[in-house]
């Protein structure tokens, strides 16, 4: 194909004449560990990061398990609220990625910030704290809460959507306005897509793309629980996340963060950076069917997968492995299988779900899984889908059951499908 020829000859433009985009730095925070190598080693070993929730009491909850990241600064203190956790984990991942890329000067990253994160708000510990300041029967009403909150700028800046991005932009010295994005479970992939596009358009030579999630707290857990989306296999946490397996019943909430330093291949080469891999393409498609379910025809999922492959200038047969969305809900299993068969036909490449081990890191998932995809290419080793005990005859896919294995992998399709019908797929490739 023209693209591989052009890359082999050292070209820095892709099949559409756009700058080729390289990944020169990666960072990870997952329930399997803080840092890329610890998380990746756990994943290849088929280790589960899911355990009983210890952060808060779980009485009256239908689901009492989750993937949790223990932050060093929380030891001996109360847990941080979600925006605090998001910011802290994003910062840890970004520090690792920037250090690895060796780009810019300290506190001066030479490009924009794209941050995939969940919506944040004033949370219960703060709300109750405000209510404790109120007096009498009206003391717990909103006007009283507001009176107690007035002028507490740390509360305001902590719960603003733009607050997390602003503080990260300040810390890492990224350029221009930070962009915070949410596309539900596709958020992390969307953040990478925005960075990819900015470099392709020539707006920037580099971009810092982050996906972070820190919503393991009572209200968020209960809300997902009320949608009947979560696994309730509480007695055996490590075996609760079972994507593509007959007895799966829902996803397991989790948290973490990933960071990718994207750069035009040209500027990466010019500064002699190590290229970890390429972001070859991205595709997206929205669904108009239902708020939490895909159109049964799979049109949007199939469209996003095909668009990403076409955007990369490839044919489906050139994809060696698929990093699944793989949440472990019956709905996702069904739709992702349908998508695989539609796009790849009889010859589906192997597909595995990182979420079988780390759970569903929601806003971080697309970014974490992009990093794992690059590591899959680096080590030529497919991470498994664990907890594969009873195959589902309706899922005729090679899900890399239970044990990692070696494989020749040059190009990976990474799927992310979100509530609200927001679907984003990325194609990641080996450095030329």
Helix (H, G, I), strand (E, B) or coil at 28: strand
Is 388 tagged catalytic? no
Q: Which of 4, 234, 292, 410 binds another protein (CB under 8 A)?
A: 292
Enumerate residues 314-343 that contact another protein by CB under 8 A: none
Enumerate residues 91-120 that contact another protein by CB under 8 A: 117, 119
Strands 321-323 and 351-352: parallel
Helix (H, G, I), strand (E, B) or coil at 323: strand
Write down the catalytic residue from 185, 209, 388, 425: 185
Which distant-in-sequence residues (6+ apart) come within 8 Å of 231 by Cβ? Answer: 63, 65, 240, 241, 242, 248, 249, 250, 251, 252, 328
Q: Which of 143, 296, 330, 396 binds another protein (CB under 8 A)?
A: 143
Least Å distance between CB 383 and another protein? Answer: 28
Least Å distance between CB 275 and another protein? Answer: 24
Decide if residue 261 touches another protein (CB under 8 A). Answer: no
- Rounded to whole angstroms, the Cα distance separating 66 from 45 reads 19
In the complex with another protein, the residue whose CB is nearer, 130 or 209, is 130
Q: Which of 153, 393, 406, 408 binds another protein (CB under 8 A)?
A: 153
Decide if residue 420 touches another protein (CB under 8 A). Answer: yes
Q: Which of 8, 9, 10, 59 binds another protein (CB under 8 A)?
A: 59
Decide if residue 52 touches another protein (CB under 8 A). Answer: no
Enumerate residues 174-203 that contact another protein by CB under 8 A: 176-184, 190, 194, 197, 200-201, 203
Q: Which of 300, 364, 375, 399 binds another protein (CB under 8 A)?
A: 300
DSSP E strands, 122-205: 179-181
Enumerate residues 201-240 that contact another protein by CB under 8 A: 201, 203, 218-219, 222-227
Helix ranges restricted to H, 173-215: 187-200
Is 290 tagged catalytic? no
The closest of 411, 384, 410, 412 to 398, measured between CA atoms, is 384
Contact 29, 339 (CB under 8 A): no
Q: Which of 50, 89, 103, 145 binds another protein (CB under 8 A)?
A: 145
**Rg for the chain, CA atoms, rounded:** 21
Decide if residue 16 touches another protein (CB under 8 A). Answer: yes
- Rounded to whole angstroms, the Cα distance separating 70 from 53 reads 11
Using CA atoms, how far residue 84 sits from 35, 263, 323, in Å, is 19, 28, 29
- Rounded to whole angstroms, the Cα distance separating 137 from 135 reads 7
The stretch near another protein (CB under 8 A) out of 33-41, 349-357, 406-414, 418-426 is: 418-426
Decide if residue 307 touches another protein (CB under 8 A). Answer: yes
In the complex with another protein, the residue whose CB is nearer, 49 or 79, is 79
The residues annotated with a catalytic role in the active site are 185, 325, 360
């Amino acid at each position: 194909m023209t693209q591989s020829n052009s890359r082999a000859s050292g070209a820095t433009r892709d099949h559409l004449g756009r700058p080729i985009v390289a990944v020169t730095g990666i960072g990870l925070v997952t329930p399997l560990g803080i840092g890329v190598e610890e998380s990746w080693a756990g994943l290849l070993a088929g280790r589960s990061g899911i355990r009983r929730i210890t952060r808060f009491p779980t009485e009256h909850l239908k689901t009492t398990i989750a993937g949790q990241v223990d932050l060093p600064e929380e030891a001996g203190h109360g847990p941080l609220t979600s925006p605090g956790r998001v910011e802290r984990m994003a910062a840890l991942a970004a520090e690792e990625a920037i250090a690895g890329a060796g780009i810019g000067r300290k506190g001066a990253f030479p490009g924009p910030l794209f941050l995939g994160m969940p919506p944040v708000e004033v949370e219960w510990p703060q709300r109750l704290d405000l209510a404790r300041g109120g007096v009498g029967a009206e003391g717990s009403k909103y006007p009283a809460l507001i009176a107690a909150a007035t002028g507490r700028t740390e509360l305001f800046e902590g719960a603003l959507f733009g607050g997390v991005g602003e503080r990260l932009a300040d810390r890492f010295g990224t350029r221009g306005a930070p962009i915070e994005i949410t596309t539900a479970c596709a958020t992390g992939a969307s953040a990478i897509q925005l960075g990819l596009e900015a470099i392709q358009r020539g707006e920037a030579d580099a971009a810092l793309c982050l996906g972070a999630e820190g919503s393991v707290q009572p209200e968020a857990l209960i809300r997902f629980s009320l949608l009947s989306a979560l696994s309730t296999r509480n007695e055996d946490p490590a075996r609760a996340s079972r994507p593509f397996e007959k007895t799966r019943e829902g996803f397991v909430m989790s948290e973490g963060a990933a960071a990718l330093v994207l750069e035009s291949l040209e500027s990466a080469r010019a500064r002699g950076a190590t290229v970890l891999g390429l972001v070859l393409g991205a595709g997206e498609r929205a669904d108009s069917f239902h708020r939490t379910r895909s159109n049964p025809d799979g049109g949007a999922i199939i469209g996003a997968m095909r668009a990403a492959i076409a955007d990369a200038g490839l044919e489906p047969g050139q994809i060696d492995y698929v990093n699944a969305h793989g949440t472990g809900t019956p709905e996702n299993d069904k739709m992702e299988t349908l998508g695989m068969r539609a796009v790849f036909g009889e010859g589906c490449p192997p597909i595995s779900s990182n979420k079988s081990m780390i759970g569903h890191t929601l806003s971080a998932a697309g970014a974490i899984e992009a990093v794992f995809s690059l590591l899959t290419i680096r080590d030529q080793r497919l991470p498994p889908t664990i907890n594969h005990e009873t195959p589902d005859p309706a899922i005729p896919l090679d899900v890399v059951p239970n044990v990692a294995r070696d494989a020749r992998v040059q190009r990976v399709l990474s799927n992310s499908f979100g509530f609200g019908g927001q679907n984003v797929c990325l194609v990641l490739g080996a450095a030329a």
